[in-house]
A = this chain, B = another copy of it.
């Protein structure tokens, strides 16, 4: 079993898909702790409902980014977390934290990277006028929305799509590839060599 910590900032729908997967017999992952930087995020309730420990750490209580990250790191180490899953965590991570969890931290991003990095990727895609959007599960590097890609999924953009309809269609695929990709990692099917994903 791979012991993971999940970092969230919001409603935690990707967290929910991980919780649901962990309830299955053949999913070799155990969620040890959910860390949230917003005390009123709905994702906290999802974790509590599943009997998972939640820790709120407000970035406002820390003088700088790394001090905040060190507190998260302390919690993760204390709970013997081996692997970190970002799931709608809306804080940039310090290079120090990225280094601590190098090749042991993944993020899901709602675009086909390298297109549309940063916030509101779905709106960026609509504004650009792409006909294929999607999502990316990737290992985290200190530069935002970069790092070896584990899985991607493509989603058709429809001519009457709004931000909400596209976001929701992409989100379904995020849930799917997050669970699938995390299982590949936990079962040792994929590893990272340098910045290359290697299949075992």
Chain A interface residues (CB < 8 Å from chain B): 112-116, 128-132, 134, 148-154, 159, 195-197, 199
Contacts and interface: CB of A to CB of B under 8 A. Distances in A.
A137 to B, nearest CB: 9
Nearest to A131: B152
A110 to B, nearest CB: 14
Nearest to A148: B129
A159 B115 contact: no
A148 B152 CA distance: 24
A131 B180 CA distance: 14
A151 to B, nearest CB: 6
Chain B CB count within 10 A is highest, among A132, A150, A151, A153, for A132
Nearest to A155: B154
29 contacts: A112-B112, A112-B130, A112-B132, A113-B115, A113-B130, A114-B115, A114-B116, A114-B128, A114-B130, A115-B115, A128-B149, A129-B148, A129-B149, A129-B195, A129-B196, A129-B197, A130-B149, A130-B152, A131-B149, A131-B150, A131-B151, A131-B152, A132-B134, A132-B152, A132-B153, A132-B154, A134-B154, A154-B154, A159-B199
Copies held by the complex: 2
A133 to B, nearest CB: 9
A121 B148 CA distance: 18
B114 A112 contact: no
A60 to B, nearest CB: 35
